[in-house]
Amino acid sequence: MEGGVAGNTVPPNSFDKSKVLDVKPLRSLLPVFPEAPNGPPFLCAPPNGPFPTGFSPFFPFSGPQGTPLTPGLNQNLFNSTAMPIRSFRAEPPPASNGENVQSSNKRKSVGPSSVKKKVKRSNDSELALAALTNFKPGIIAAEKDDGNRELVENVLMRFEALRRKLSQMEDAKESHSGIFKRANLKAGNIMFTKGVRTNGKKRIGVVPGVEIGDIFFFRMELILIGLHSQSMAGIDFMPMKADIEGERVAISIVSSGGYEDDAEDPDVLVYTGQGGNASADKEASDQKLVRGNLALERSLHRANEVRVIRGFKDATHQTSKVYVYDGLYKVQESWMEKGKTGCNMFKYKLVRLPGQTGAFSTWKSIRKWKEDPSSRDGLILPDLTSGAESIPVSLVNEVDDEKGPAYFTYVSTVKYPKSFKLVQPSYGCNCRDACQAGNSNCSCIQKNGGDFPYITTGILACRMPMIFECGSSCPCFRNCKNRVLQTGFKVHFEVFKTRDKGWGLRSWDPIRAGTFICEYAGEVIEKIKEKADGDDGENNDYVFNTNRVYESFKWNHETESAEERSDTSEKFDIPSPLIISSKNSGNIARFMNHSCSPNVFWQPIMFEHNNEAFLHIAFFAKKHIPPMTELTYDYGIPQSDETESNNMEHGKKKCLCGSLKCRGYFY
């Protein structure tokens, strides 16, 4: 369903709340679609949707919203002990006034122009915003209804690229502008307007292209791929077409800690119904058996599958949440009990269908490992780095009896020999506290083309020909946001033994797209030594070479505007080839395996040290990466001058990445 439920509001004082009425047919509760067909539906949202007071909504958030639930049923109807929900009957909806609904649906949508009225923008900002919206959807009508894995990943990557670019633009504005930063909502607005979405047709059960364990950092992502269509409400539902009464059943729920949900058992979720929570302008009240609550009750009797998305605090960004798709459940039981507020709340027991891949169970295991690292099965070392990194890196083998990789010296950065001349004269900025995005006087920002390379959360905004970070002679603070590579990684990694590719690297934490993974550490060398019989010299097993041919891909937000700035190019500009060997000394990067469809990419970064700029290779997340997913990057293909043209088979290895796009080999 593309539209909202704007016509399903309950006028105040239109019925006696002290009475429990007989169940009525729900034909009058069928959804009323707003005029804008591409907007995400809203249910039980505040009058102004997800926007704070004083912030104007914009399409698709400007459509008529469902009013907050009215106060609950008379408390005399409920006892303090738990009782089955089946003993309660649904409230009949009031008769809808077609004329009023029509006029409500014709309410003028407020577009991005409403935001412009609040904040005066420069001509450059207006041109940049116009350029961002000037792209083709590239999705046909059938794909908007039914997607696949490639399409789902494409939609999510395009949303995230647009969100990062909008965040970069917002960060560049003056801090006293007063604009409310919600780049995810703006990105969603543009995506819906352009028709960049998939799985728009509601369905029970599996959503094409969405896999158990997939993670998301915004509710908008769930809507764009059709996993859950409500931006605020935790219960999504749809009418049963075969039912002449138009009965609605629940199809997905989001459990994110807003209510008293019990989530201790990884295969059982005791979910609290919606409504009744206290807010700034109303007291807590009893929940009512309407809308999503009623849909869950009906799903209990129909025994239909319900998708469950669980939400948690983001370990690396405590103010944010991360959502994981935990698979299909069925409602097994329902009852009512007193909540912490003293008001009656509906409870639903959902049980996970057997035979599904683990998702929430993996998160619970990781939580246990963090509290007690020794509880990790197959643990060899609690910290492979011996304290060289601020966050320990576990060494784990659950496959065989091997006790670890061959000996090497752990170093956290690249080492240049004194004789090496790949340096450039460089001088730092004059910022006295921390470099601020949008500061045209900061020489480090000027080197980056006038844009801060990272958004506020430390996420890489765009791939660039070269990123210039602040260096040792810059007077800005050590924690300046333009020192992402230098402050090290922020997630908990483990080096683990794979079943068929030697040692690999993965994370205990969820990683969002653009997150800094690590630097490729080791020793800079002038050329690669070919390994001969009995020779322990350098070989291609532990070497990174910028001179290789790497498969191109689009990661930045696309635009077809003639005003596009040249510094948005994703083609690297490296002064001369850089070869780094991590055979004898290196860091966790030496354990990342090759993949023809990698989830990590590399980016050249320079920063100054003793008035000379040194080149570093940094790895960033290409997309959202769930916990315990192996981290991989593309090793590239040697150029003809690296390997004799008549001996291209030299060094070729069989690829075991398992990707649908696997080319069968790597070097």
One-character DSSP codes across 607-632 = EEETTEEEEEEEEEESS-B-TTPBPE
Residues facing 497 on adjacent strands: 503
Using one digit for the tens of pLDDT, what is the confidence trace for 648-661? 566 789 999 999 89
Give CA–CA dist 178/198, Å, rounded: 34
pLDDT surpassing 80 at residue 244: no
pLDDT attached to residue 642: 55
Lowest mean pLDDT among 91-100, 103-112, 268-277, 494-503: 103-112
pTM equals: 0.80
What's the CA dihedral at 313, 319, 324, 330 to 10 degrees? 70
546 has pLDDT over 80: yes
- The token pair that represents 553 in the structure block: 């891909």
Mean pLDDT score across all residues of the chain: 79
pLDDT recorded at residue 600: 98
Phi, psi of 226 (to 5 degrees): 80, 20
Q: Treating both helix axes as pointing N-terminal to C-terminal, what angle do 149-171 and 183-194 enclose, rounded to 10 degrees? A: 130
- Mean pLDDT across 592-617: 92
pLDDT at residue 180 above 80? no
pLDDT at res. 432:
81
pLDDT of residue 314: 85
The pair of structure tokens assigned to 642 is: 């690296």
Q: Is the pLDDT of residue 395 over 90?
A: yes
CATH superfamily of 234-371: SRA-YDG (2.30.280.10)
pLDDT score of 43: 39
Write the pLDDT tens digit of every residue in 43-99. 344 444 444 444 444 444 444 444 444 343 333 333 344 555 544 544 444 444 433
Q: What is the pLDDT of residue 171?
A: 86
Most confident of 94-108, 115-129, 323-337: 323-337
Q: Is the pLDDT of residue 20 over 60?
A: no
pLDDT band at 610 (very low <50, low <70, confident <90, very high): confident
CA atoms 237, 243, 244, 247: torsion sign = negative
Residue span(s) of the chain under CATH 2.170.270.10 come to 373-529+541-558+571-642+651-666
Distance CA 453, CA 480 (A): 12
Between 79 and 623, the more confident residue is 623
pLDDT-based confidence at 182, cuts 50/70/90? confident
Strands 248-255 and 268-272: unpaired
Q: What is the pLDDT of residue 315?
A: 78
**In whole angstroms, what is the distance from residue 402 CA to residue 502 CA?**
10
Q: How far is CA 640 from CA 286, 503, 515, 547, 645, in A?
A: 73, 29, 33, 11, 5
CB 606 within 8 Å of CB 466: yes
CA–CA gap between residue 600 and residue 320 (Å, rounded): 22
- Residues 417-427 pLDDT 10s: 876 655 567 77
pLDDT at 483: 92
Residue 308, pLDDT above cutoff 50: yes
Look at residues 255, 359, 265, 232 and name the one whose alpha carbon lies nearest to residue 306: 255
What is the mean pLDDT of the segment spanning 24-50? 43
Domain 373-529+541-558+571-642+651-666, CATH among 4.10.95.10, 2.40.50.660, 3.40.50.300, 2.170.270.10: 2.170.270.10
Range 430-450 average pLDDT: 86
Q: Say how many C-beta atoms besides its own lie within 10 A of residue 654's C-beta.
A: 7
Q: What residues contact 545, with CB distance under 8 A and at least 6 apart?
A: 528, 577, 578, 579, 580, 636, 638, 642
Q: In what order do the strands lie in the sheet with 503-507?
A: 379-381, 394-396, 493-497, 503-507
Copy the structure tokens of residue 606.
Answer: 């320079």
Q: What tens digit of pLDDT does each residue of 455-467 get? A: 988 999 999 999 9
Which pLDDT value is given to residue 5?
37
66-80, 138-152, 180-194, 579-593: segment of lowest average pLDDT? 66-80
Q: Where are the alpha helices (DSSP H) in 374-442?
A: none
Query: Measured between alpha carbons, how far is residue 294 from residues 84, 108, 298, 338 in Å?
Result: 13, 32, 6, 18
From-to residues of CATH 2.30.280.10 in the chain? 234-371
- The burial class, CB within 10 Å (0-12 / 13-18 / 19+), for 470 is buried
Of 69-73, 229-233, 496-500, the range with the lowest mean pLDDT is 69-73
Would you say 437 and 449 are in contact if contact means Cβ atoms under 8 Å apart? no
List the structure tokens of 435.
Answer: 């470099």
pLDDT at 535 over 90: no
Position 562 pLDDT exceeds 60: no
In this predicted structure, what is the pLDDT of residue 622? 97
Closest C-alpha among 489, 165, 101 to residue 316: 489
Position 559 confidence tier, pLDDT thresholds 50, 70, 90? confident
**Sequence-ordered list of residues with C-beta below 8 angstroms from that of 430, at least 6 positions apart, any chain:** 441, 442, 443, 475
For residue 645, is pLDDT > 70?
no
| Range from 315-324, 369-378, 413-422, 519-528 that averages highest in pLDDT | 369-378
Distance of CA 238 to the CA centre of its chain: 26
